[in-house]
């Protein structure tokens, strides 16, 4: 289920942080924590960001906006990593892992949040051609267009 938040309903400090930067990962994590009742940052930030306080459920938060910044112009996309996805799939063997996606729709002035099981994300990546080299130490990646998630 997709949650929709009007940006004007956010506290002023969050609105300002969203306006200052296209990279709004911290704000996205805060919003996901509130929407799904999560807490705390990961001790292993490479593969999960938040967790549910009474269960071992782990969440990896991905965020993007309508467009990507000036350095690499284009439509917004979520970057997922093969290693993170594998770790989340392994954790999800006990039904304890999610990807949470946050999309800043600059046109409509809203934030949209939704979540997907890691196996669903992996299937989406495979349907789109599989994992790609990234040139980063994080390993292989895939960039999923925002409109394939929302």
Domains in the chain and their CATH numbers? 3-148 (3.40.210)
Span 114-131, pLDDT tens digits: 999 999 999 999 999 999
Would the pTM count as exceeding 0.75? yes
Rg (the chain; Cα; Å): 15
Mean pLDDT, the chain, rounded, equals 87
| Residue 68: predicted pLDDT | 76
Q: Which of 150, 139, 121, 128 is nearest to 2 (CA)?
A: 150
Nearest to 141 by CA among 100, 85, 82, 88: 82
For the residues 29-51, what does the mean pLDDT come to?
81
Averaged over 24-49, what is the pLDDT? Answer: 81
Q: pLDDT, tens digit, for every residue of 55-106?
A: 878 999 999 988 877 776 788 999 999 999 999 999 887 778 999 999 998 8
Q: What is the pLDDT of residue 100?
A: 97
Checking if the pLDDT of 9 tops 60, the result is yes
pLDDT, position 74: 81
Higher pLDDT: 40 or 105? It is 105
Residues 20-41: what's their mean pLDDT?
82
* CB contact at 8 A, 77 and 144: yes
């Amino acid at each position: 289920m997709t949650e929709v938040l009007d940006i004007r309903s956010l506290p002023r400090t969050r609105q300002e942080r969203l306006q200052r930067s296209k990279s709004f990962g911290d704000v996205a994590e805060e919003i996901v924590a509130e929407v799904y009742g999560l807490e705390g940052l990961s001790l292993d930030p490479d593969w999960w960001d938040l967790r549910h306080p009474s269960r071992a459920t782990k969440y990896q938060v991905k965020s993007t906006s309508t467009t990507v910044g000036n350095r690499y112009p284009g439509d917004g996309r979520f970057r997922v990593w093969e290693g993170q996805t594998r770790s989340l799939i392994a954790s999800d063997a006990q039904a304890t892992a999610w990807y949470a996606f946050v999309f800043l729709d600059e046109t409509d002035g809203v934030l949209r949040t939704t979540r997907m099981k890691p196996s669903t994300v992996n299937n989406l990546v495979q349907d789109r051609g599989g994992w790609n080299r990234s040139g980063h130490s994080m390993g292989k990646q895939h960039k999923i267009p925002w409109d394939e998630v929302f």
